[in-house]
């Protein structure tokens, strides 16, 4: 029986050959009149080196992905919100999938989403799925919420402009759970500034909220709220993520709208 792994051997010139692939591990070169034996790589060694390079590259990509996620996903629970963790209870996740599949177009056309519905509809989960999928594709995404942004802004010696500039630097910004928690004049001003700065740079924005369209379009709102909501509605296609209810028709109509945006 033939033994596949055999020992290296010397050829008639005295150069070492690989016992496995049979290729040279040494060769002779002439240098200023003298002959030298130098090492070279046999096929097995070339293959091993390539595999090592590829492994190191994969590890480097994983490291960069971890870095992008650590910076961009501002809450630990966002890390688990991925398409593969979906329990298939809400078909509206298809919108999120389409958004990711058409990301280049969404980015170019500056299409954002306003994911609406009560607690438990999965709207934040959908936004997280988009964030994770795009981060895994190498895109830079920031997913955060306004309480966090406002906390940063009011912390000691914070540079508000720098914080806003940083948020504009992301190709996609996702604001989870827009409810405008603190209705102070300062808070509303900063919320508007963040949204408007992305509007001016024509960069997409995804927002999740418990607010209804009627609430956001209400004429009873004060000016500060009105200008925030009207900007959002200019930038984002409203998607109702809840189940069957009185808002169903509206959701269906908008669903067609976003599908048209995606395919058109």
**Which residues contact Zn ion by CB under 5 A?**
18, 20-21, 42, 44
Give the nearer residue to Zn ion in terms of CB position, either 18 or 111: 18
Give the nearer residue to Zn ion in terms of CB position, either 1 or 7: 7
Q: Tell me, what DSSP letter sits at residue 73?
A: B
Distance CA 34, CA 47 (A): 32
Cβ-based neighbour number of residue 233 at 10 Å: 14
Distance CA 25, CA 18 (A): 6
φ, ψ (nearest 5 deg) of residue 259: -65, -35
Give the nearer residue to Zn ion in terms of CB position, either 8 or 61: 8
Rounded to a whole number of angstroms, the minimum distance from the CB of residue 35 to Zn ion is: 24
Distance CA 107, CA 140 (A): 12
**Interhelix angle 43-72/123-136, nearest 10 degrees:** 140
- Contact 173/197 with Cβ under 8 angstroms? no
Give the nearer residue to Zn ion in terms of CB position, either 26 or 147: 26
Ranked by CB distance to Zn ion, the top (closest) residue is 18
Which residue from 231, 2, 251 is spatially nearest to 118, judged by alpha carbons?
Answer: 251
Give the nearer residue to Zn ion in terms of CB position, either 40 or 261: 40
Give the nearer residue to Zn ion in terms of CB position, either 17 or 97: 17
Distance CA 148, CA 181 (A): 11
- Contact 119/210 with Cβ under 8 angstroms? yes
Non-local CB neighbours of 101 within 8 Å, separated by 6+ positions: none
């Amino acid at each position: 029986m033939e033994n596949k792994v055999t020992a290296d051997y010397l050829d008639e010139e005295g150069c070492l050959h690989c016992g496995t692939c049979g290729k040279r591990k040494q060769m002779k070169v002439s240098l200023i009149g003298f002959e030298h034996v130098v090492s070279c790589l046999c096929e097995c060694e070339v293959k091993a080196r390539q595999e090592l390079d590829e492994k190191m590259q994969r590890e480097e990509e994983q490291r960069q992905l971890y870095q992008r996620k650590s910076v961009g996903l501002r809450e630990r629970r966002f890390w688990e919100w991925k398409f593969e963790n979906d329990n298939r209870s809400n078909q509206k996740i298809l919108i999120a999938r389409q958004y990711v599949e058409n990301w280049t177009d969404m980015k170019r056309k500056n299409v954002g989403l306003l994911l609406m519905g009560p607690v438990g509809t999965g709207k934040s989960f959908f936004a997280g799925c988009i964030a994770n999928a795009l981060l895994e594709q190498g895109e830079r995404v920031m997913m955060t919420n306004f309480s966090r942004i406002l906390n940063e802004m009011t912390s000691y010696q914070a540079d508000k402009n720098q914080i806003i500039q940083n948020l504009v630097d992301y190709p996609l910004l996702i604001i989870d759970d827009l409810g405008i928690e603190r209705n102070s004049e300062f808070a509303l001003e900063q919320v508007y500034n963040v949204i408007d700065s992305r509007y001016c740079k024509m960069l997409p924005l995804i927002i999740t909220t418990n607010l209804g369209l009627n609430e956001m379009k209400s004429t009873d709102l004060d000016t500060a709220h009105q200008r925030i909501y009207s900007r959002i509605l200019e930038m984002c296609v409203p998607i109702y993520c809840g189940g069957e209810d009185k808002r169903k028709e509206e959701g269906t109509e908008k669903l067609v709208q976003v599908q048209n945006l995606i395919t058109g």
